[in-house]
Amino acid sequence: MPKRKRETTDVSKSPKTKPKRKQKAGKTIETAKEVPVIPAATRGSDQQPPKRIKWTNKQRVLVFSSRGTGFRARHLMTDIRSLMPHAKSENKMNKNDKLIQINEACEMKNCNWTLYFESRKKKDLYLWMAKVPDGPSAKFLVENIHTMDELKMTGNCLKGSRPLLSFHKDFEFQPHLALLREMFAQAFNTPNHHPKSQPFFDRVMCFSIADNRIWIRNFQIVEEDGALAEIGPRLTLNLIKIFAGSFRGECLYENPLYVSPNLHRRSLKMAAAGKYINRVEVKADREQRMPETAYPVENEMDDVFRRAEQAKQKPLDDEANGSMGEKSRTTPKKKNQKKRK
Amino acid sequence: MASMKMKKRLRDRSESPSDVSGEDWEDDSDGGSDTELQEAFASGKLKPGLNYSVEQRKPCANNKEGLIQKLEEIKLDLPWIERLDLTSRLAPLAPEIAAQIGIDPNLVVKTKSAAKKTKTNEDDDVVVEEELDNVDDDFKRELRFYRQAQSAVLEAVPRLHALGIPTKRPTDYFAEMAKSDEQMKRIREKLISKQQQIELSEKAKKMREQRKYGKQVQLEVMKKRQEEKKRIAESVKKFRKGAKGEQDELDFLTELEDSRKNTSKGTNRHQQNQKGPIKKTGKQKYKDTKYGFGGQKKRSKYNTKDSADDVHGKFDRRKHGSAPGNRKGKKPAQKRPGKVTRLKMKSNKSKR
């Protein structure tokens, strides 16, 4: 495939002509320090086009998804692709295929990084991030997805401008985080002098750590003194595992605080069910524990009425009985203590 | 007891977590909670304090050496301009926002200056940054991310300028943006509509407040007026009742006049000096005749030029539309013709 002729325009030399809307990729603006190169007016058809020697850091990322991703994950993927000019797309992969095949796909497209979005049950989205030939790979659970389309994301940036990558200081304190930092820094960084990249710096990509997760935010630099506007997309990554090889190799790190979404849902359901079961059990326990007669109290007054009853049955000739009877009447009435069941 | 469903292991809560690994009990195969506890107690492994069960977890892989080795393998030693990565602290918080959240801005400032005195970088970090205690507090959390990005910008932009690289996009540089113009238009519309909603609600609030306040003021004024009237009426009564004895208590007259002058709109100042009644318009007079005014009527009949001129019960031409100013048809009013003309008219009539 013949290479397209790429022009270099020098804005500083031609201030009168406004550069028009970019139709094709490949215009770069040279730094003020370097001497501007003006291409010749004519060139022969045999002549080789000038080789670009400035783009040295060759990082290419293969961004693609599995079959069965929902709209949100798909939009997220397309947003990431649009923000990374060094990204390449690939057809959807079957989940039944082995992950090792991704290495081959990357080989075909000449990519050395990959971001693979795998969605399960149309509910959970996992992100595989790997350095393809033999680098480390990491699996994340993606949560809290907000795409660039949301109207609350008011910022805008040049398509393909190089981002400033900002990492939280906690990334340096633990080895697995330090490794992840290096991976993010290499994969998300648009290489310098990339043909599709744009010259000015109007974007900052922020990686933070909170609640054992990695939060990714994209901001537009509205003013150089610090005013920012969020462009999107927004991600939260929950690390699951880090492997030594790309989709293979030993597990170098496993997140102890990770709970798989299935388990999480299950625990919620159990808690809800547990409420009812708990109540039933408590009731059964209570039935067991309760005695037949609660508080059997011996009261000296208890047999007053018994004696009165006996007195009634006997003939009323005894004075003692009679007095007893009166006595029984003058005493204040006492409610019989009910036997509790 | 029944609620504490034991799973596999017992662990004493009062112990520190590091001691747990030292205590290893055998699991009971049947998993009977009571028997296990009894056994543990008999062997003296149960300690005082609340014992609760902890689910046994497999040890998680954490191959630190492996991780570090891998890091060394993949590390790229490139100049910073190629990598553009920064480790950033949190940018300082503006005092208004700090007040809004509830963080004491003085605390932040003080600690920063204190850190400067000690001049250690580590202390600076520890002191200035507040820990995020609740991840669910969206505003605080996003604010922290914002501040982190801000500090990155504040650090990177001068660095880029030092390298001689332009960072700001000039206004005439048109290029493809990540979001289309249509999207930006929709965003702008949404923002405008939001603002308008806020404004409307503010307006409505203000109107409500005003009405409430206005109502209050109105009530007060009415009250005042009523009180005035009451007072005057009472003093009039008093005067009337005690008129036979004291005839000098005519102070309330002046009060009356004053009150009337004060309450009525646009009172003429020079009327205060005028003797006799206040000059009234035709309508007022008519109303007076109909409804009168208790005490005022009595005092309003004086024999002055105006009262002599004023004739009650006159046919009000204005009301019946035949005032000199308002003829229907707007033609000039016909004057009664003179004698000669009238005779002529008469003769003309008879001729026909």
Contact A83, A77 (CB under 8 A): no
Chain A contact for B193 (CB, 8 A cutoff): no
Chain B residue with minimum CA distance to A252: B63
Average pLDDT, chain A: 83
**A28-37, A154-163, B3-12: the lowest-pLDDT one:** B3-12
DSSP assignment letter at A242 = E
For residue A153, the model assigns a pLDDT of 92
Taking contacts as CB-CB distances below 8 angstroms, the residues of chain B near A163 are 84
pLDDT at A86 over 60: yes
> What pLDDT is stored for residue A48 in this prediction?
77
Among B57, B135, B179, beta carbon nearest to A148? B179
Smallest Cβ distance to B144: which of A20, A208, A253?
A: A208
The whole-number pLDDT of residue B46 equals 74
B53 interfacial to chain A (CB closer than 8 Å): no
Test B75 with A182 for CB contact under 8 angstroms: yes
Is the previous residue joined to A233 through a cis bond, with omega within 30 degrees of 0? yes
List strand residue ranges (DSSP E) for chain B, in order. Answer: 9-12, 51-54, 85-88
Dihedral angle over CA of B198, B204, B210, B216, nearest 10: -130
| B63 vs A contacts (CB less than 8 Å) | 250-253
Q: Can you give the pLDDT at residue B246?
A: 56
pLDDT greater at residue A309 or residue A16: A309
d(CA B155, CA A42): 45
Q: Hey, are the CB atoms on A162 and B84 less than 8 Å from each other?
A: yes
Higher pLDDT, A77 or B313: A77
CA distance A84 to A159: 8
Our CA angle for A245, A250, A256, nearest 5°, is: 115
* Distance between CA atoms of residues A61 and A196, nearest Å: 14
Specify the pairing of strand A161-168 against strand B85-88.
parallel
pLDDT of residue B304: 84
Nearest residue to A162 (alpha-carbon basis) of A28, A4, A10, A15: A28
Joined together, the tokens standing for residue B261 give 């002058």
- The answer to whether A208 faces chain B, any CB pair under 8 Å, is yes
**Is residue A78's pLDDT more than 80?**
yes
Average pLDDT over residues A24-50: 62
In one-letter notation, the amino acid at residue A27 is K
CA-wise closest residue to A218 among A83, A87, A88? A83
* Residue stretches of chain B with pLDDT short of 50: 1-31, 108-127, 266-267, 271
Amino acid at A310: Q
Distance of residue A93 Cα from the nearest chain B Cα, in angstroms = 27
- Its ipTM equals 0.71
Higher pLDDT: A278 or B247? It is: A278
- pLDDT for residue B247: 53
Q: What pLDDT score does B263 carry?
A: 57
d(CA B229, CA B272): 20
pLDDT score at A336: 57
Q: Do B174 and A19 touch (CB under 8 A)?
A: yes
Q: What digits encode the pLDDT tens for the residues A131-152?
A: 998 889 999 999 999 999 999 9
Distance separating alpha carbons of residues B87 and B52, to the nearest angstrom: 42
Residues of B with CB below 8 A from A171's CB?
87
Q: What is the pLDDT of residue A315?
A: 66
Q: Which of A27-41, A77-91, A324-338, B131-145 has the highest mean pLDDT?
A: A77-91
pLDDT digits (tens, 9 = 90+) for A195-243: 998 888 999 999 999 989 999 999 999 998 889 999 989 999 999 999 9
Chain-chain contact of A255 with B57 (C-beta, under 8 angstroms): no
Rg (CA), chain B: 49
Closest CA in chain A for residue B189: A151
Q: Are A158 and B157 in contact (CB < 8 Å)?
A: no
For the cut 60, the answer to whether the pLDDT of residue A11 exceeds it is no
**H-run or E-run covering A238:** strand A234-243
pLDDT of residue B11: 45
pLDDT of the residue at B6: 44
Q: What pLDDT sits at residue A75? A: 95
> pLDDT for A251-263, tens place per residue?
999 999 999 999 9
Say what the pLDDT of residue A320 is. Answer: 53
